[in-house]
Structure 1
Amino acid sequence: MLHLNAFLFGCGHHTAAWRHPDSPVERLGDITYYEELARTAERGCLDAVFFADGHSVLDPAGGSWWFLEPLTALAAMARATDHVGLVTTVSTTFYTPFHAARMLASLDHISGGRVGWNVVTSMFDAEARNHGLEAMPAHAERYARADEFVGAALALWDSWDADALVFDRAGLWADPDKVRPIHHHGEHFLVDGPLTVPRSPQGRPVLFQAGSSEQGRDLAARRAEGIYAVAYDAESAKSYASDLRQRARAAGRDGDAIVIMPGLVTYVGSTMEEAKRKKAELDALLPVEQSLAQLSMFVEQDCSDWELDAPVPTLPPLSEFTGPQGRYETILRIIQKDAPTVRELLGTLAAGGGHCTMIGTPESIADKIERWHRSGAADGFNLMPPMYPHGLEEFVEHVVPVLQERGLFRRSYEGARSLRELLGGR
């Protein structure tokens, strides 16, 4: 079976989504908006919703994507739903293991065992300066801290046995032999334990990771149960999945048990023409000057005079490019695969920034999803609708039924009591 996750992100994953007349921009501080999104995901029997986080305001004029604190919001969303998983980002650079473990275990109790933790190290110096740091620590240091952080959190969750609580009113609340300190004294953290929250329904939240660097892949291979991957086409997705599974086996794990979900941007229409119109409508809302300036930075040449409705001018091959190669390689893949105009390229980069993009009817999108799945390119997808709530509603109402009819996706949550079970684990 496929695994499907909805990545919640403001008004949508298209940079200009908030400017659309039908956008929910005025509701971003209203918890009922997020509760409705979670219920829509649950109506489609999705595995989970994922609420990312950030620790600085990127661009007040262009829209700040971070609004409600995710753990707080997910606590409310847990009460508004019954089955769908609830995944949140918690930064190992800005939190401590005890703090994170206590909050996530509490949320796992509140939700009845539906919580996942996307382990991130954070990225921006502006975030660091909101937490008493002049700049982000070096990449290698962040990942060393993250690995120790996760190890300490896992130990804290295991500091209570499942049957530790006795509730003997004669005088024994919990069995002292089944509640243990962890005595973690590492390079980055000192944590005695035990945790102040008894063992949660899942025992420990499901661990997710989204790193693509060498250290990120190694951390994912050692720790993650689910991966949020970046891949524009099936070929690069298969390469990533193969590498990740090999690293997991080298770490002594079952590489095939890791659920890998590339990001997926979809424009769904009753016809291909309608789907393309939806994309063009959002692309037309992009601030052109700002978008061309960003593209200029990605390709390291001046794009300000490029004709918007003409094909993208020929770019140097990857071997001749001296700047950051990941994003540039993705741009070359988009041009090779789709032959876009400059305007279309800006729109594709604005919605997902290099994640797989599928434009078409429910049947044609289901065809592509099925090909990715059967070829081993993806165990499922992290859905990134260009615009909320319509994009998620359209996928749930029109694409999911096609996948269900083909036997590729569940029709109910029957038999799964936790997020880990939804992902195929125990």
Structure 2
Amino acid sequence: MKKMRLGLSMRYHGYHVAAWRHPDYVPGCNVDFRSYRDIARAAEAEKLDMIFFADGVAVRGTDQPEGALSHDMRNAELEPLTLLSAIAATTDHIGLVATASTTYNEPFHIARKYASLDHISGGRAGWNVVTSWSDQEALNFNKTENLPREERYARAAEFVQVAKGLWDSWDADAFTYDKDSGQFYDPAKMHVLDHHGAFFNVRGPLNSCRTPQGRPLIVQAGASNQGRDIAAQHADVVYTVSQTVEEARSFYADLKARAAEFDRIDNAPLIMPGITIYTGATQEEAQARFDELQALIDPLAGLNILYTFCGDLSGYDLDGPVPEHIFEDKITIGSGLLAKAKAENLTIRQLYESTAAGFTGRYIIGTAETVVDDLQHWFETGAADGFNICPPLLPQGMDDMSRYILPELRRRGLFRTEYEGETLRQNLGLS
């Protein structure tokens, strides 16, 4: 029976915008290695496929409405590759995936860092490929504004091509270590990339052996047309933020079809929509956990989370309709949020409350049976190969997965009881 793939997203110690205000949130855990280590070990004990850290290279929020940034928890965190290298030394099986932008990095740096993580972890590294969309990031890299979208994605496509080429610098048996002859490596099995393109000139080779997985996994999270093309050609796993099963099926079918155009029929990317789960022993308990966090949303933080997609709504009645004419579709996720507001006739307050509950992603409230019914429906009807779990609060969200969701998934034969292989690639069933 086909098994569901599951990852745990750990950024910020919770995906509810008010997670840090919850009584169980430990101040300072966002920069406490031991806390992340313990959650990663708990996820590994439950045989999850991977842990994941999103990332940005700036405090990306705009202080709109004024004072909102000081109410936002997304401003202090650990650099994810450094963090995952430390976690790698304390775990044995779980995959380690981190975001790195193609806009403000160079291919050689990224190829080398992820190759090192793959070696350190024994074949468990994955690179989540993104482009940087915010001007705040540009200001940290000698620029006054971000690159135009078309240029960002063209750079990203070439960036991934170069990184993959660098990971192929050495054959698996290139390093002979022949003490008698004095030969350290076979020169015939070393390959100089010598790439010359529109954005990059990279000679190579990479100063690293071929990694345990052959190359680190490539993960992609952009839903734009250009992002889908990069995913279809290169990605092993794709994260999405679909709000409805119909939207998810459309994305799933489109991406699999695009992959087929690159002759990737048997090795098309696995598609793992994000989901935030509020659960408990009863429906009432699950709802109470949700309501408790919703009550902690500061209006400034709520309006700020909408600002990137909808502009400044602070001058409008929070209990009035979302003013359609000021919507700004700066990144693809914004269109889904406005569609949700239209379909459900949400007020501004209701929209930011809904958005805050899963940090713009989908959320579900229910018992283990209700939640797994939903996940199974998506999994078996062409909407998902698995899910990127984005808990509202950690470590409590991982505890709830262990107590409620995973036992029910296993009871239905939908999730593993033991890891199948040594590497992330093997455990995901990828070629």
- After TM superposition, the score normalised by the length of structure 2 is 0.90
Alignment partner, residue 157 of structure 2: 147
1:266 aligns with 2:271: no
- CA-CA distance at 1:351 after TM superposition: 2.7
Partner amino acid, structure 1, of 2:292: E
- CA-CA distance at 1:290 after TM superposition: 4.3
Q: 1:70 to 1:297 in 2, by over 3 A?
A: closer
Give deviations 1:263-321, integer Å, cap 9, x for gaps: 101001111111111111111111124424655885676674344xxxxx5668x8x88
For the residues of structure 2 that align with 1:86 and 1:379, how far apart are their CA atoms?
19
Q: 1:287 to 1:95 in 2, by over 3 A?
A: same
For the residues of structure 1 that align with 2:250 and 2:271, how far apart are their CA atoms?
12
For the residues of structure 2 that align with 1:293 and 1:175, how far apart are their CA atoms?
57
Alignment partner, residue 372 of structure 1: 378
Alignment map for 1:86-101 (pairs within 5 Å): 86-101=96-111
Alignment partner, residue 33 of structure 1: 35
Alignment partner, residue 10 of structure 1: 12
The partner residue of 2:253 within 223, 234, 242 is 242
Alignment partner, residue 138 of structure 2: 128
Q: Is the 8 A contact 1:238 1:377 kept in 2?
A: yes
Alignment partner, residue 429 of structure 2: 424
For the residues of structure 1 that align with 2:5 and 2:38, how far apart are their CA atoms?
21
- CA-CA distance at 1:348 after TM superposition: 2.1
Q: Is the 8 A contact 2:13 2:29 kept in 1?
A: no
Q: 1:297 to 1:135 in 2, by over 3 A?
A: closer
1:327 aligns with 2:334: yes
Alignment map for 1:341-420 (pairs within 5 Å): 345-413=351-419, 415-420=420-425
Alignment partner, residue 216 of structure 1: 227
For the residues of structure 1 that align with 2:124 and 2:348, how far apart are their CA atoms?
42
Partner amino acid, structure 2, of 1:384: C
Partner-residue secondary structure (3-state), 1:257:
coil
Higher mean Cα deviation, 15-24 or 252-261? 252-261
For the residues of structure 1 that align with 2:9 and 2:387, how far apart are their CA atoms?
10
Alignment partner, residue 55 of structure 2: 53
For the residues of structure 2 that align with 1:284 and 1:119, how far apart are their CA atoms?
35
Give deviations 1:36-69, integer Å, cap 9, x for gaps: 1111111221110011111112335422355111
Alignment partner, residue 19 of structure 1: 21
For the residues of structure 2 that align with 1:267 and 1:393, how far apart are their CA atoms?
12
For the residues of structure 2 that align with 1:77 and 1:24, how far apart are their CA atoms?
20
The partner residue of 1:285 within 290, 296, 311 is 296
Higher mean Cα deviation, 145-154 or 285-294? 285-294
1:185 aligns with 2:204: no
Alignment partner, residue 214 of structure 2: 203
Q: Is the 8 A contact 2:221 2:238 kept in 1?
A: yes
For the residues of structure 2 that align with 1:71 and 1:190, how far apart are their CA atoms?
25
Structure 2 gap segments, 5+ residues each: 62-68
Higher mean Cα deviation, 74-83 or 415-424? 415-424
Identity over aligned residues, as a percent? 44
Give deviations 1:208-261, integer Å, cap 9, x for gaps: 101111111111111111000111111110011111111111222227631000
Q: 1:375 to 1:104 in 2, by over 3 A?
A: same
Partner-residue secondary structure (3-state), 1:28:
helix
Q: 1:107 to 1:289 in 2, by over 3 A?
A: closer
Partner amino acid, structure 1, of 2:85: A
For the residues of structure 2 that align with 1:293 and 1:198, how far apart are their CA atoms?
45
Alignment partner, residue 64 of structure 2: none
Q: Is the 8 A contact 1:208 1:226 kept in 2?
A: yes
- CA-CA distance at 1:13 after TM superposition: 0.6
Higher mean Cα deviation, 322-331 or 119-128? 322-331
Higher mean Cα deviation, 251-260 or 119-128? 251-260
1:104 aligns with 2:114: yes
Q: Is the 8 A contact 1:267 1:278 kept in 2?
A: yes
For the residues of structure 1 that align with 2:326 and 2:33, how far apart are their CA atoms?
45
Partner-residue secondary structure (3-state), 1:25:
coil
- CA-CA distance at 1:332 after TM superposition: 3.9
Alignment partner, residue 66 of structure 2: none
Higher mean Cα deviation, 174-183 or 287-296? 287-296
The partner residue of 1:305 within 317, 322, 345 is 317
Partner amino acid, structure 2, of 1:204: R
1:64 aligns with 2:74: yes
Structure 1 gap segments, 5+ residues each: 308-312
Q: 1:422 to 1:395 in 2, by over 3 A?
A: same
Root mean square deviation, CA, Å: 2.3
